[in-house]
Copies of this chain bind each other. A is one copy, B any other.
Amino acid sequence: MAQDRAPTRIQRKNRAAILDAALEVFSAHGFRGATVDQIAVQAGLSKPNLLYYFPSKEAMHAALLEGLLDTWLDPLRDLDPAGEPMDEILAYVRRKLQMSREFPRESRLFANELVQGAPRIHDALSRDLKALVDEKVTILEGWMAQGRIARVHPYHLIFSIWSLTQHYSDFDVQVRAVLDTEDPFDGASDFIETLYRRLLSPP
């Protein structure tokens, strides 16, 4: 089989092209809404050729999802308990927003999965995601106890950051329809930063 040992130059190139095409199509239409043919056209390869590199449509989707959650949580992972609380949180917000802006397809792939009940990543959520959030919430609670940031529900604080930042990639049609702008993120950064400054400034 092609996938067994030391990938060749062609294998690397084609697998990458397929995953990119799959990301494009899955993020735009959801798993069920995407067809292998669409992905093949997008990748510039024939359908049987795709299935030479991936055993099934499922496998392509799984390959995309596999690394995604990890990458997606990296910005939160970098929240430093030793840093200045307000700076750390604002930096996290900025990283998250930048990620949404730079990788809207990944964001939508994830959103599609979540809206439909996350059938394929449910376990990862209640294991890895929960563990990381729990850990970071402890840090936030520490900062609040020390009076270095205002006291708010720490879990909802994190949810709010996810929600505000991803809104601009996941629902960008809506934002664009209202704002009539090219870049849905325009002005979002300032607004969100102001929001968290006012919410979290110690009394």
Show the binding face of A for B, using Cβ within 8 Å.
28-33, 108, 111-112, 114-118, 122, 125-126, 129-130, 133-134, 150, 152-153, 155-157, 159-160, 162-164, 167-168, 170-171, 173-175, 177-180, 187-188, 190-192, 194-195, 198-199
List, in ascending order, chain B residues with CB within 8 A of A178's CB: 125-126, 129-130, 133-134, 155, 159
Which of these, B155, B173, B199, contacts A195 with CB under 8 Å? B199
Closest to A169 in B: B115
Q: Which 7 A-B pairs have the closest CB atoms?
A: A32-B33, A163-B167, A156-B191, A125-B177, A126-B177, A118-B173, A153-B191
A108 and B111 CA atoms in complex are apart in Å by 11
Listed A/B pairs (13) with beta-carbon separation below 8 Å:
A108-B115, A111-B111, A115-B115, A115-B170, A118-B174, A118-B177, A122-B177, A152-B191, A159-B175, A159-B178, A159-B188, A163-B163, A199-B199
Nearest residue (CB) in B for A32 is: B33
For A114, the chain B residues whose CB sits under 8 A away are 170-171, 173-174
Complex formed: what's the CA distance from A195 to B152 in Å? 9
Q: Which of A115, A130, A133, A171 has most chain B Cβ within 10 Å?
A: A115
Docked-complex contact A30 and B30, CB < 8 angstroms: yes
Q: Which of A29, A126, A167, A178 has most chain B Cβ within 10 Å?
A: A178
Residues of B contacting A198 in the complex (Cβ-Cβ under 8 angstroms): 150, 198-199
Contact partners of A150 in chain B: CB under 8 A: 198
Stoichiometry, copies per complex: 2
- Which of A28, A134, A159, A164 lies at the interface centre, i.e. has the most chain B CB atoms within 10 A of its CB? A159
State the CA gap A192–B128 with chains docked (Å).
Answer: 26
Complex Cα distance A163/B33, Å?
25
- How far does the Cβ of A101 sit from chain B's closest Cβ, in whole Å? 15
Residue of B nearest to A173 (CB): B118
A29 and B116 contact, Cβ closer than 8 Å, known pairs A159-B167, A178-B155: yes
